[in-house]
Each structure stands twice: as C-alpha cells, then as structure tokens.
A and B are shown apart, each in its own frame.
Chain A
Amino acid sequence: MNVSSVKGSMSISSSTSTWKAGDTISDQFPAGLRVLVVDDDPTCLMILEKMLIACLYKVTKCNRAETALSKLRENKNGYDIVLSDVHMPDMDGFKLLEHIGLEMDLPVIMMSADDGKQVVMKGVTHGACDYLIKPVRIEALKNIWQHVVRKRKNEWKEFEQSGSVEEGDRQPKQSDDADYSSSANEGNWKGSKRRKDEEEETDERDDTSTLKKPRVVWSVELHQQFVAAVNQLGIDKAVPKKILELMNVPGLTRENVASHLQKYRLYLRRLSGVSQHQSNLSTIISAQDPTFGSLSSLSGLDLQTLAATGQLPAQSLARLQAAGLGRATAKSAIPITLVDQRNIFSFENPKLRFGEGQQQHMTNKQQVNLLHGIPTTMEPKQLVSLRHAAQSVGNMNMQVPPHGPQSSQNNPLLMQMGQQQQQQQSRGQILVDSTINHAPRLSSMGQPILSNGMATNVSSRSGIPENIRAPGYSQTPSMLNFPMNHASELPGNCFPLGSTPGVSNLTSKGAFQEDVNSEIKGSGGFMPSYDVFNDLNQYKPQSWELQNVGIAFDSSQHSNSLQGNLDLTQSALGQQGFSSGQMNGHNRSAAVASKAMFSTGNVKELRSAQNVNQHLNNLLVDNTIRVKSERVCDASPANIFPDHFGQDDLMSALLKQQESVASSENEFDFDGYSMNNIPV
C-alpha cells in the first residue's frame, strides 16, 4: 500500500492545505488511513491492530489513554481517526473522547463490550461518531473511513456556510446542525484544521468549492486564548467578532470563531446541563403536544418563515404554543409544554427529531436548533435576541395563566398523544409554540394560524420573542385547540381573559377550528382554560407521568442538550422551552421549553425545571411530583392568570396540537372544570 501517497491525498497537511471531500482521493483510499487505537486489554488491542492492518490502515496502538493523548498532541495531524475503548483504568473513554474533540477534533469511535442503551447514548452525546460493540469484527472496521470523510465534508460545509453569512449566524449553525445531526459530533469542537502559516486560509471563501477552506486547528493555546476572550466578554456577550478581536490571532476568521463558539457553548451546556435537563424535562412534559406529529411537516415550513424572520424564539414560542397549549397552566403550563415536548421528542422518533431539526436547518438554522434541540449554539446575537424574547415571553407568561388551565387539561391529552412520533414532532412544536405563545399574546397578530401554522404564525411574526409578535399566533393555536371556542370565539378565545389585544387577530381561526377537534374542548376557549387552570394541578400528575416516560428516554439521551438549552433559553426563550436548538435531541427541545417556561429571566427556575426534567427521566413516578412542584413554584397562579395571555396562546397551541394528535385525549379536557378561580 502506498501510504505516503494516500496520506498526501488524505491529510490536511498536504500542500493544498485542505482536503476536500471530493478532492483527489487516492485510489487506494481508505488504505493508509491513520488510525490510533486505544484499549487497555492487550488481547483486544492485538486483535484490533491486526484487523486494522488487514484493512490496510496505518495503525498506532496504545494501551493507555494518557499515552494516546500525548501521541495525538505531539502529532496533531498525524492521525485521521481514533478508536477507543470505553472502560479504561486510567481515564474514562468518554473523557478521552471529549479531550480529542476539544483539542484535535478528530472523529472518534468508541468500543465496548457493553451494549446498553445508556452507554451508547453517552457515546452519542459526548460526540463519538460511532459506537462498536465488542467483540469487534473486521467488517465493522472496514468502513470506519466514512467517518473521516464525513467529518471533513461537514467541516467544509460549515466553512462555506459561515463564510457566506456574515450577519446571520444562522448558516454556520445550520451547517453545524447538520453536522451534529449527521455525525453526532456535538461534543466535538469543530475547529477546522488550518495551518497558520498557510496561504490559502479562509480568504478563499470566495472559492466556489466549498471544500477549499483550510481547517483551523484549535490547539490548546488557541483554545485557551479563546476561552480567555470569552470569559472576558462574558459568555452571554461573547460575540465572534469581539472574540476575534480580543484573541488577535492573525488569520483567524470570524467564522472560525463562530463555529468554535457554538461548540463551546454546547460543551458548556452539556457540562452544566444535567440538572437543567431535568427541569427542562418537566416543563416540556407539561407541554407535550401530540399534535406535533402532524405539525412537524408544517413546522418545517414554519421554521422557514421563522427563519426568515430570523427569530428563533418566536418559532419556539410558536411551537411551544402549538405544542403545549393545552398543557401549561400559566407558568407551569409553559414548562409542561416543554416537558411534554421532550417526551414527545424523546427517543420515540429520533428520526423525527432530526428530521424536524433538519427541516429547520434548511429553513432556519437557528430555529432548528431551538426547536429540535439541534446542538448548534446560538450566536450571541441570537442569544441576545432570545433573551429579549425570553424576557418578553416571561412577561407573557404571566399572561398565560388563562392558558394554564387549558393547558393542564390538554396536558394529559397531549402527553398521551405526544408519545411516540407525535411526541417528537409536537415537541418541536411545543417549543415553538410555547415561545410563540408568549409572544403573541401581547399583540394581536391576527395572523392566520395554521394548525401547524402555529409555528408559521410565529414565524410570520418573525420570531419576535418579545411577545409582540406572536399574539396572533398564540391565538390561533388556542383556537384550534379549543373547539369550544368555535371559530367566532376563537379570536377571543385566545385571550379570554380578555384583554389581549392580539386576540382579535385570529381571523384565521375559523380555518383552524376545523382543524381543531372538539377534543380539546377545554382548550377551545380561554374560558375553559381558566377552569382548567384550576384543575391543572390535577392533571399534572398525569401529564407528568407521561412526560416522565418521554423524558426518561430523552434525558438519558439529551442531558447534554438540556444543559445547552438552558443556557440559551434562559436568556431568551425562557418560557417556551425554546431549546435554542442546542439540545441534542428531544431533550433539547424540552430543555428549551422548560427554559422558556421558567425563565422569565429566571435562570434558576429553568435549572430547576431542567432538574425536574432530568429527574423525570430517571424516576418516572417521582418525577411527576417533582415536576409538579417545580412547576408550581415557578408560576404562582396569581401571577399567571391576570393579564397574561401568553399562556392562553400556549394552551391553545398546545391544545391544538393535542387535538390533532389524539382525539382520545379529550377526555382530559376541561370537563368539570369550573372557571371560577381564574382571576382574569
């Protein structure tokens, strides 16, 4: 095998400094692929080495993680891929995985005799690009080169994206998202390898070929500089441009920094997100929206519109609304939405999850992230906007109370419906809806709300999380959800409590009504919602339980994402569990939702929400209680009801979704709910 020639074509160190996925790949490829294999078991190590050699790869073996790391550090570009065992005495395989992702950004494949779902999921969340079960067969090793190709291809795409979009941080995110979803590299720092001394650099962005961009190697020092700059600016205010200036590294571009920042955010989120995840879950649970399933397709569209507006929060709001309308009672409603969403998105439909996310990608990178928990970090700008949105949402949340009751009712429905695929979809929706709910309430958007359209409404609003946008949006969902409201009432339904100026916009309501089945009876009117609100608590347990189920699955998977979400949403979405797409999967949306729910700028709440969520995952039963308490403390009924119509919107959105999801859920409607206690 002609290793040198292969190397030349494959390694970035080639004179062209960039390795294009479609570029001149030696005919011998993947022969010569430089593999570093790490395993403390000498028998396995010997066998693996032999197998890899038989595949014509160039193999370096180590039996200790520390040795492997130092080898990698010594020779940054000396390896194409790493194979590592999970259980090692000196260092946990996942830790090694993170180090490699952070410092070298190489594809890493994990191996273990353990094939438990938890462990495999852990691999995914830590950014492994594949997971092999021992005993490893040679056939499994023959194809590992695909991960190398894929990674490089994605990096190019990312470069291209970031290069083309200066202002809109969407694109970089988009590529990141795609990257994440495709290769589960969330944990990896996407530094593109780039020779500092190279001439091409990113200045060649104008190249037609997307693959020509040199990769930036985020060395330890460079990363330290980056972290120092970020800390100096403050993680919330860290904008790629400013970071770039502070770092003052010649040849480094804003895009490089932007993508690295994204990864860093994800990483941070993942580190701190376990508790948040739980809380998110709880919120999401409440917001389950079974209708998501049907909405998912629309959500993609919505996302586009939202994307247009470039306002993620709005979308998430919308989604959340759509999703969790029925669920959240006031504040809790929102969290529930988030939680539900999470359930919905939980493992049931990984495909959906990504699918939706991907839809979003296409349309609105940012949005996608939020909704589907795509790990992309939101750009600082976005964050800021989100934050604003969140704040506004927070205000709106207050308004939501009316929805609360509704949502509570819906929650049980949603929750049940939300399971499985629907869950996934609805989750996204919920996220969007909830966020939108908050926003819309305030303003009478009067925009036609399509059933899935809740997202669209929001989108049209262009995601102004700041409530003002979505009023129409929220309304519609509610309308849809509450058959009781009937078309004519729908507008008013959204904000039965009145005063929502935005309510009037629900012209489209009529249209939606059709969509809305009677199932959501309670949801239909805000009136009912008030009733529901009272009874929300009753349902909560139910929803929580269901949510727990969903969450349980999700949390395990997406704990990282939740964390990530928290960061973002706290500031922005707050309420709507608008997982700023950071969430890996379902969890993300859940996380976002929960965040949205809780945060009216209250990070703590989100955290608790997340905690709750996480907890839910672990303890289905216990979680319900926990979530409830989480929710309750977050939203005091008193606050919730009065003037905040956001909840209504949420609820309506939720309800709507619920409707679509399962008519059977209706039984959870607001039957027997008295509307007395709802302070309007």
Chain B
Amino acid sequence: MDRNRLHNQVASMRRSLFDQGYLDDQFIQLEELQDDTNPNFVQEVVTLFYNDSTRLIQNIEQALNSRPIEFCKLDDYMHQFKGSSSSIGAKKVTNECTAFREYCNAENAEGCIRSFQQVKQEHAILKRKLEVYLQTVRQASQTA
C-alpha cells in the first residue's frame, strides 16, 4: 500500500510539474535515458545542473553589479545558463532567461536586474520542487 501510495504520489507530482509548466519535454528525454545501467540518471543530471548553475548565477550577479554593465558578457553568461536549463527541461527558468536576454539586447539595465530576479526565483522554486519529487521517486523505488 505504501508503495502504491508513493507511486501515486510520484505520478501526481510529476504530472503537476508538467501541467504547471515547470518542466517540458526535455525532461522526459532525460527520464527515457534512465535505465538499468543508469538508474539515477535523472537525479545525477539535476544535481549537476544545480551545482553548475550556481556558478553561472554568481557570474551573472557579478556582471550585473559591475559598472558599467557589460551587456555582451551578460548575454554570454545568460546564454550558457539558458542552454543548461533548457537541456534539463526547466521550462519556466528558460523562459525567464529568454526575457532577460531581451532586456540585455536592449541594454536595459533595469530590465535586466528585474528579470534576473525572476530567473533566480524560478530557478529556486524548481530546485525545491525537483528535490521533493526526486526524493519521492527514490523512496518509491526503494520500497519493495
């Protein structure tokens, strides 16, 4: 029963992540890559993403705080960040990145700063949700 409950929980959490637009197709690609030889693939990738993206976020913060703002550099960093987040299927995060880049192209510092706050926020929200989700997945797979 527990297992069923857990599995149901996993299923519904997963569904809501997709329904609410936090994740997209790319995440499914990751799930499909997971197999017996790599049973924790998704977890590994997500962990890797969050470790790496922290570094990127710091870079962007720094660039945003420097004066004058180097929009080229900002765009570069954000491009990397966007590539990364899109590769794990982080839909909302990626969308915010796109918005940021638009402000960046327009050299709108204010817009960039505001937009970046959004990026960080989405990034943090998704992180929490994924942590919970993946933990549940782990539990479900562990229970007999």
Contacts and interface: CB of A to CB of B under 8 A. Distances in A.
Interface string A97-139: 0000000000000001110000000000000000000111110
A113 B45 contact: no
Interface stretch (B6-14, B75-83, B107-115, B130-138): B75-83
A198 interface: no
A137 B24 CA distance: 12
A50 B33 contact: yes
Given A42-B52, A46-B45, A113 B88 contact: no
A135 B79 contact: no
A113 B33 contact: no
A47 B79 contact: no
A87 B52 contact: no
A240 to B, nearest CB: 43
Contacts of A51: 29, 33
A43 B52 CA distance: 8
B33 A43 contact: no
Nearest to A136: B87
Contacts of A41: 52, 80, 83-84, 87
B41 A135 contact: no
Contacts of A50: 33, 38, 41
Contacts of B88: 43, 47
- Report the contact-size class of chain A (Cβ under 8 Å from the partner): 20 to 34
A231 B76 CA distance: 39
Contacts of A72: none
A120 to B, nearest CB: 15
B18 interface: no
Contacts of B41: 50
Given A41-B52, A42-B52, A87 B80 contact: yes
B98 to A, nearest CB: 10
A44 interface: yes
A165 interface: no
B83 A112 contact: yes
Contacts of B29: 47, 51, 135, 137-138
Interface residues of B, number: 23
B83 A46 contact: no
Contacts of B52: 41-43
12 contacts: A40-B80, A43-B87, A43-B88, A44-B84, A44-B87, A46-B45, A50-B33, A50-B38, A87-B79, A135-B26, A135-B83, A138-B29
Contact of A114 (B26, B45, B49, B79): B79
Contacts of A137: 25-26, 29
Contacts of B19: none
B140 interface: no
Interface in A267-320: none
B117 to A, nearest CB: 22
A113 B78 CA distance: 11
A135 B33 contact: no
A40 B80 CA distance: 9
Contacts of A40: 80
B80 A135 contact: no
A54 interface: yes
A112 B82 CA distance: 10
Given A41-B87, A44-B84, A138 B45 contact: no
Q: Is the contact region of chain B dominated by helix, strand, or loop, or is it mixed? A: helix
Nearest to A49: B33
Given A43-B45, A50-B33, A50-B41, A134 B79 contact: no
Nearest to B34: A50
Contact of B87 (A114, A135, A138): A135
Interface string B62-86: 0000000000000010011011101
Nearest to B82: A113
Q: Most chain-B Cβ atoms within 10 A of its Cβ — which of A46, A112, A137?
A: A46
B30 A113 contact: no
Given A50-B41, A114-B79, A135-B89, A43 B32 contact: no
Contacts of B87: 41, 43-44, 47, 134-136
A39 to B, nearest CB: 9
B41 to A, nearest CB: 6
Contacts of A135: 26, 29, 83, 86-87, 89
Q: Most chain-A Cβ atoms within 10 A of its Cβ — which of B38, B41, B48, B82?
A: B48
Return the 4 tightest CB-CB contacts between A and B, nearest first: A113-B83, A135-B87, A43-B49, A135-B86
B33 A87 contact: no
Given A41-B52, A137-B29, A113 B44 contact: no
Given A42-B48, A113-B83, A87 B38 contact: no
B83 A134 contact: yes
A46 B40 CA distance: 13
A266 to B, nearest CB: 30
A43 to B, nearest CB: 5
B48 A46 contact: yes
Contacts of B26: 135, 137
A138 B82 contact: no
Interface in A40-84: 40-44, 46-47, 50-51, 54
A47 B32 contact: no
Given A47-B33, A135-B26, A113 B79 contact: yes
Contacts of A42: 48, 52
Contacts of A44: 83-84, 87
A601 to B, nearest CB: 42
B58 to A, nearest CB: 15
Contacts of B38: 50
Interface in A2-47: 40-44, 46-47
A351 B25 CA distance: 33
B86 A134 contact: yes
A301 B84 CA distance: 51
A137 B38 CA distance: 18
Contacts of B45: 43, 46-47
B33 A54 contact: yes
A41 B84 CA distance: 7
Given A87-B83, A137-B26, 13 more contacts: A41-B87, A43-B45, A43-B52, A43-B84, A44-B83, A47-B45, A87-B76, A134-B83, A134-B86, A135-B83, A135-B87, A137-B29, A138-B29
